A and B are shown apart, each in its own frame.
Chain A
Amino acid sequence: MAALPRRIMKETQRLMQEPVPGISAVPDETNARYFHVIVTGPEDSPFEGGLFKLELFLPEDYPMSAPKVRFITKIYHPNIDRLGRICLDILKDKWSPALQIRTVLLSIQALLSAPNPDDPLANDVAELWKINESEAIRNAKEWTRRYAMDN
Chain B
Amino acid sequence: METDYQDADSDMDCSDNDNECFDVYDYYNVVDDNDMEQIDPSQTDPEHFAYDCLTEVEVEQLLNESVASLSNSLQITPSLAKVLLHGHCWSVPNIVMKYRENASNLLISSKIKPPVTPTPIPCSRYETCPVCVTQHMSEKFYNLSCAHMFCKDCWIMHFEVQINQGISTAISCMAKDCEVLAPEDFVLKHLIKPNLREKYQQFTFQDHVKSHPQLRFCPGPNCQVVIRSNEAKAKRAVCSQCKTAFCFKCGMDYHAPTDCQIIKKWLTKCADDSETANYISAHTKDCPKCNICIEKNGGCNHMQCYHCKHDFCWMCLGDWKSHGSEYYECSRYKENPNIAHESVHAQAREALKKYLHYYERWENHSKSLKLEAETLDKLRLKINQKVMANLGTWIDWQYLFVAANLLAKCRYTLQYTYPYAYFMEPGPRKELFEYQQAQLEAEIENLSWKIERAETTDRGELENQMDIAEKRRTTLLKDFLDV
Contacts and interface: CB of A to CB of B under 8 A. Distances in A.
Interface of A: 5-7, 10, 61, 63-65, 96-99, 103
B175 A10 contact: no
Interface string B169-181: 0000011111000
Contacts of A64: 154, 157-158, 160-162
20 contacts: A6-B133, A6-B134, A7-B131, A7-B133, A61-B160, A61-B161, A63-B131, A64-B158, A64-B161, A65-B161, A96-B174, A96-B175, A96-B177, A96-B178, A97-B150, A98-B148, A98-B175, A98-B176, A99-B176, A103-B176
| Interface of chain B, main secondary structure | loop
Interface residues of B, number: 18
Contact of B132 (A5, A61, A103): A5
Contacts, number: 38
B130 interface: yes
A5 to B, nearest CB: 7
Central interface residue in A6, A61, A98, by most chain B CB within 10 Å = A98
B158 A97 contact: yes
A6 B174 contact: no
- Which 8 interchain pairs have the tightest Cβ spacing? A64-B161, A97-B174, A96-B176, A98-B176, A97-B131, A10-B133, A61-B161, A64-B157
A32 B19 CA distance: 71
Given A61-B157, A64-B161, A97-B158, A7 B176 contact: no
Nearest to A59: B161
Contact of B130 (A5, A65, A98, A103): A98
Central interface residue in B130, B131, B133, B160, by most chain A CB within 10 Å = B133
Interface in B175-199: 175-178
A98 B131 contact: yes
A63 B133 CA distance: 11
Nearest to B132: A7
B144 to A, nearest CB: 13
Nearest to A90: B176
A98 B176 CA distance: 6
A63 B132 CA distance: 8
Nearest to B164: A61
Interface string B114-140: 000000000000000011111000000
A22 B96 CA distance: 53
Nearest to B150: A97
B177 to A, nearest CB: 7
A98 B177 CA distance: 9
